[in-house]
Amino acid sequence: MGFVKWLDSAPLWVKIIFALPALNIIWAIYRLVKGAVKGNIAILLGGVLWLLAGWAILWIIDLISIIGWKKPIILA
């Protein structure tokens, strides 16, 4: 859970950089770890979805939600 807490408390500019296409895998790993720790299958499946399609289009959703809400809100 240390990774999730670290990313939750990271500065906004770091979160925005991690939401860019090449680095969006960080948010997929975040979802996988958070889902596994919480035992939430929906978040875990969201992490798998982000691993598969995050680089293509889902990074835009992360970027918008991080700018607007300061954290990913879709399947996170």
Task: Please report, in tens digits, the pLDDT of each residue of the chain (76 residues total).
Answer: 798 999 999 999 999 999 898 888 898 899 999 999 999 999 999 889 888 887 778 888 889 999 999 988 887 7
Predicted model pTM: 0.86
- Nearest 5°: the CA angle 61, 44, 34 is 85
- Nearest 5°: the CA angle 12, 35, 58 is 55
In 3D space, the residue among 19, 33, 24 whose CA is nearest the CA of residue 51 turns out to be 24
